[in-house]
Structure 1
Amino acid sequence: MTALQEINGTSRTITAETAWRYDTRQTPTCSPLPDNTLGLSRWTLPAACAERVVNRSEAPHHTIAISLKSTELTFCHGGRVICDGRVTPGVTQITRPGQEVSAIFRAPCDVLHLYAPQALLRECYAHITGRPSVGDVMLGNADIVPDVAVARLAQVLVWAHAEGSTVSDLFTDSIGLAIVTRLLSHETHTARSQQRTATILPRWRLKRAMEFIDAHLSEPIRLHDIAQSVGLTRMHFAAQFRAVTGTSPHDFLVQRRIETAQVLLATTTQGVLDIALATGFRSQTHFTTVFKQRIGETPSRYRAQVGAAACSIHRFD
């Protein structure tokens, strides 16, 4: 097994499990996260293992398991055999708090585990149904089921974290919320609510959100932070923001960072690394990659082109 580690020291990452289905946030040395934060970890076995793994966690969260590759196993949930054979990438299984589960992996495996606390489920439930929950929100289906959309979202999340410093808390929150919302919508049978047209974000709230983003551009910004600044839940803010701007909060944030970087490259002599950090990128490499994707040139070449254009203008004055 891979040793437990945090990638690049970021506050939110996918940790490698040293124990099956163990949410590392239970470790005293880990920094506490908000009660509505999704936990992420990954169980990987390079070879078959005859030893049965068991989880008797009394943690108050739901555990969502998403298979990232094909494997063969025997999986038991609450004393009942759920699966005894081969599973394919993308199958999903949900375990409620307090349920004992066990497994024997007869082939290599790679599984992403999401730990959804009750506060997060209530937030998603309110967004899907349009009303607050009465009591705890429970995901009840313990069977192993395929879900193409969840599989793709999980792969995007894993790919992004494999990039190390290129992933942001805002991106992690957005993808994690999308996974939980989809699974919860199946349980609550609210397809009509899920398809309803989002309310347009009022102009004053949009202005406040943009001002908050600009004021904290150099800092890690979570979806929760922006939504809280305008007095909305994450789910309602994300839907309303997209309805009025045509883009996600994450994509808008990246674009504002690039636009600010362009101004700094054109009007200051700051180094590329300093500009990268000032606009919220975690490394010069990440900044260069995203800048070239958006602008078509590296930051250094863009600065040179802007400088050459300015010189040409002065010659003809």
Structure 2
Amino acid sequence: MSHAYDTFETLRQQNAVLRETVALNSGIQLAAWFNKHDTVTVKSNHHTLSLYVADGYESYHKTPGGWKNGGGPDRFCLMPKESESSWDIRDDLSFVHLYCTDEHLREIGEKIWDKSPASIALDEKTFASDPKITTLYRQFLLGCDWQQPANQLTLSTASTLLLTHLVQHYSSVQWKLPVVTGGLSPYVLRNTLAYIDANLSQPLTLDELAQQAALSEYHFARMFRQSMGRAPHQYVMQQRLEKAKALVLANELPLTEIALACGFSSASHFSNRFKVATGFTPSQLRATIA
């Protein structure tokens, strides 16, 4: 997932020096900057968390009452989407930016509240302090090499924790009218279905799926049926057969390999299930397209 971040592009056209940047798998981007003797105005199509790493004492923000400073190491600024801000950087400033979108915030909201918010509006903050934010970015964002693929998980985890903290403490949330179904939350359902699709070759169990949703087997099975209109084992079998049918029609793999790839323990089990679902055995269906 990629995203063009306005603030990043604006700074690249100014005096700011880009020291390092990385795009995470989620689409969140991190950028480490240095700036000095520069004036910048930004209005963005995204949210920006600015973390002051070093110096910044002579960084000024334009307010209705004039230019005000208050920067320094471990201060942070939060610039929500569509907010416009002007800055006068009169001396050294090293800082890290985290860029994210509304969709990132909504996903965080679903994890926190187990339901989907209509919108999340971040509060605008300038030269603020928060020990939790400082600890997260000092220990995790600044503590590893951004260019090492093995560190993607650390960077992603730290970014998620930072956004979770912002949503919990520096935001206002609007909710859609609740739809009472008793089913799985949108976030848990998406993850569960993706996990099933990625592991159709494995002997999926109810316990395994329930663990993915952090629920007991009983509650998971009941809530899954509410969400999908069928029991977990029925849905899994449907997905296995749909994948098998596509592979049979592609006519590229031996039927025994297809059976294993779709989670069937034997060729005969695969053939029997396939015929019940389609009216043909796999070999019969393949023969019709030969």
Task: Calculate the TM-score normalised by the size of structure 1.
Answer: 0.45
Larger Rg: 2
The structure with the greater share of residues assigned to strand is: 2
